[in-house]
A and B are shown apart, each in its own frame.
Chain A
Amino acid sequence: MSKPVLEVNGLQTHFFTDRGEIPAVDDVSFHIQQGEVLGVVGESGCGKSVTSLSIMGLVPDPPGKIVGGEILYRSEGKETNEENLVELSKKRMRQIRGNRISMIFQEPMTSLDPLFKIGFQITEGLRNHSNISKKEAHRKAVEMLTLVGIPRPEEVVNEYPHQLSGGMRQRVMIAIAMSSDPEVLIADEPTTALDVTIQAQILELMQNLNKEKGTAILLITHDLGVVAEVCQRVVVMYAGKVVEQGSVRTILKNPKHPYTQGLIKSLPKLSERDTRLYSIPGNVPKPGSIKNGCRFAARCPAVFDRCLVENPELLQLEDEHLCRCFLYDNKEGGGKNGETALTGSQRP
């Protein structure tokens, strides 16, 4: 297998606030292969968005700062060129951002500048990265709008954002992100603000772009349904840490971490319409509030003594299947018991 196009190793992004240092992203590692769709799942506040902003170098500073780890970006060319995005100069970072690595955001309604025409906004980044004529820019804008499946693109280039619906605007955002033909597209909850039918269309569009253009996609979401639909591999995050990672099939069919199990269990099922929907008890801990032990311990159905004192490491269960839980740590006591306890009644 070729080397991944983007590799995040031990990323630590901390926020320095009046209440002290808050580790929003704590030792997160994952990688994206070329042309792959990787899902990052987790509750609000688990550090998904901060991770994506860290990759883009857009963490608001102050108060945020990347304090550790590396983000390796391998650009394809005659020879592979490896760059650590954390250490790049501002100038080089601007060349990569929006050009090689693009990003789309959650809120299509507010992600477009209300004062400028769609065509102008699509090509603004392009004109910024390379010198192209007005005519060429217009042609490119129409081409991009056609690519993302916008009807009557010739007219839409001359329209303003308020004349478009949410789904159309998200398509425009994707057109903007794709206009430079990036190698990686980071999509931060791209469908959360849209209604379900439009969601499906946008996801399909992203899948098509992934297949046709070979763009790797980092899809950040809290929706396991979306992950099942489009992703090949998935990273589950909880309170700033990766708790489980593996192929979509493994994670959805055979989740190991109690948190992942809870997430899957809390999905509504058509067959059980009358039963109350399962929810993981408790709330996401405040970032930085847990110093010792597993961060999920307070809400974990399979918690035991060791979880409260030690910090679990990410364990390799199979190839490509990683899990941060003492239940699977066979070297010491507790593991085996825990696992059997869990496979009994609590397993979804």
Chain B
Amino acid sequence: METVKPTNKTPIPGPEEQEPQTSMPAPASPWKEAFRELKKNKLAIVGMFIISFFILIAIFAPFLTSYAPSTLNAGPRLTSPNLNNWFGTDDLGRDIFTRIVYGARISLLVGFFAVTGALIFGSMLGIIAGYYGRWVDMLISRFFDIMLAFPSILLAIAIVAILGPSLQNALIAIAIINIPIFGRLVRSKVISIREEEYILAAKAQGMKSGRILIHHVLPNSTAPIIVQATLGFGTAILEAAALGFLGLGAQPPTPEWGAMLSDARQYIQSAPWTVLFPGISIMLVVLGFNMIGDGLRDALDPKMKN
């Protein structure tokens, strides 16, 4: 490789900058370039810090606290934050800091599995609908429309009501209500990419449509899917918290943030820390994912490139 490196010391632009064809930096894959773009976005960096922080405390939970999340009477009931119980204790004397730390595991796992499930099934349905079109598309799209016609939390409540309240069922419900969101996105992307000239060119090279679908259509649709998945993470965590709050998600004594909020809501005036810390945690995680998602959207959008 003979790319001429501009010498940093001289302010005069090197001759290579006048010729557009040789001024290109070392060939970068579109993904690397997107990452480079993402690193320029300060909000996205903040988001990544927040999420990394929560991932780390989730992994190292047992090392961060000497209590177990469900130990009763780790301190006096409803004590305000102090040196022994950093975030105070709840009505059963459990250490709130410990519960928050362990709750991070639950929230992140719920987000991950709900998004993965929705992504896999949604993408499959979306690809089938977008690629085969006609009545298959009609059928799948109407199915999506019907699901989207319900307020999502109501649908989740209905699904959990059928399956029975538990964290696992809440997760399934969240995955299901997110299927049409991914499905519609993938479908519309597949439809637009199917008409691209490079797809026609690939066909003109004698490639099978299955190969074209996997090697050309799908990779070109990934950018918006990644963005949606990141944003979906936040939504899924929020929905899990909402179901937990309604008593339809994680069951006591699981330290789920939404459920913690619900348990503590009668003490909101006498012991505000019981609601404050789970609330802040939910907010921070969702905010973090949204910031990364927005950053990714900008980084992956070809129109934003100069």
Chain A residues packing against B (C-beta within 8 Å): 56, 58, 94-99, 102-103, 105, 107, 110-115, 117, 124-125, 128-129, 155, 158-160, 162-163, 165, 168, 173, 176
Contact = CB atoms under 8 A, between A and B. Distances in A.
Interface centre among B27, B29, B201 (most CB of A within 10 A): B201
A105 B1 CA distance: 31
Contact of A111 (B197, B208, B211, B215): B197
Contacts of B198: 110-114
Contacts of A56: 204
A155 B204 contact: no
A98 B216 contact: no
B197 A105 contact: yes
Given A98-B206, A124-B205, A115 B197 contact: no
B206 A95 contact: yes
Interface residues of B, number: 27
25 contacts: A58-B200, A58-B204, A96-B206, A97-B203, A98-B204, A98-B206, A102-B204, A103-B204, A111-B200, A113-B220, A114-B198, A114-B302, A115-B29, A115-B220, A124-B202, A124-B205, A124-B207, A124-B215, A125-B206, A125-B207, A128-B205, A155-B2, A162-B30, A163-B27, A176-B201
B288 to A, nearest CB: 28
Contacts of A129: 206
Contact of A173 (B21, B196, B201, B302): B201
Contacts of B200: 58, 105, 111
A93 B204 CA distance: 10
B30 A114 contact: yes
B27 A159 contact: yes
Interface in B213-232: 215-216, 219-220
A99 B203 CA distance: 12
A94 B30 contact: no
Contacts of A176: 201, 205
B139 interface: no
A115 B205 contact: no
A312 to B, nearest CB: 34
Contact of A110 (B196, B202, B206, B216): B196
Interface of B: 1-2, 20-21, 24, 27-30, 196-198, 200-208, 211, 215-216, 219-220, 302
A110 B199 CA distance: 10
A162 B306 CA distance: 12
B132 to A, nearest CB: 12
Contacts of B211: 128
A113 B211 CA distance: 14
A195 to B, nearest CB: 14
B201 A160 contact: no
A99 B20 CA distance: 34
Closest 10 CB pairs of A and B: A98-B206, A98-B205, A125-B205, A97-B206, A110-B197, A103-B204, A94-B206, A113-B198, A111-B201, A111-B197
Contact of B27 (A102, A115, A160): A160
Contacts of A168: 21
